[in-house]
Amino acid sequence: MTSTLDSTFAALTDPTRRAILAMLLEDDMAVTDVADPFDMSLAAISKHLGVLTNAGLISQEKRGRVKWCKLEPDALHAAATWMQGFGQIGPLDLDAFEAYLTHELSAPPTEP
């Protein structure tokens, strides 16, 4: 369980990965469509997608010649359960999470 939590929280630390998750809240997307809004190479986006996939937050599948990304909605369950153990965080509200990600995406990007 600790390894899963570590992977989940590590994946969520990056603003690009959080933005990708917000995009996938709407619908499945082709990798090239995920990459479009970002000012980085397709290879860099692929690395971010790999981190999200390894953390179990998204899945990827090939349909014909196109690789598609899909949000795994239950992936944050273990992290939410762990946080609830502290009694300070209520049940995971995906609508609130989406609103948070939307707010984060509207902020100007910061340079690394």
CA dihedral 110→19→60→25, nearest 10 degrees, is: 180
55-107 pLDDT per residue, tens? 999 999 999 999 999 999 888 888 888 777 776 555 667 777 778 877 877 76
Per-residue pLDDT, 81 = 80
Extents of the domains making up the chain: 2-106
Per-residue pLDDT, 49 = 97
CATH class of the structural domain 2-106: mainly alpha
DSSP E strands, 1-112: 29-30, 58-63, 66-71
Q: Phi then psi for 50, rounded to 5 degrees?
A: -65, -40
Provide the token pair at 44. Answer: 């860099």
Q: Which residue is listed with tokens 């995906």? A: 94
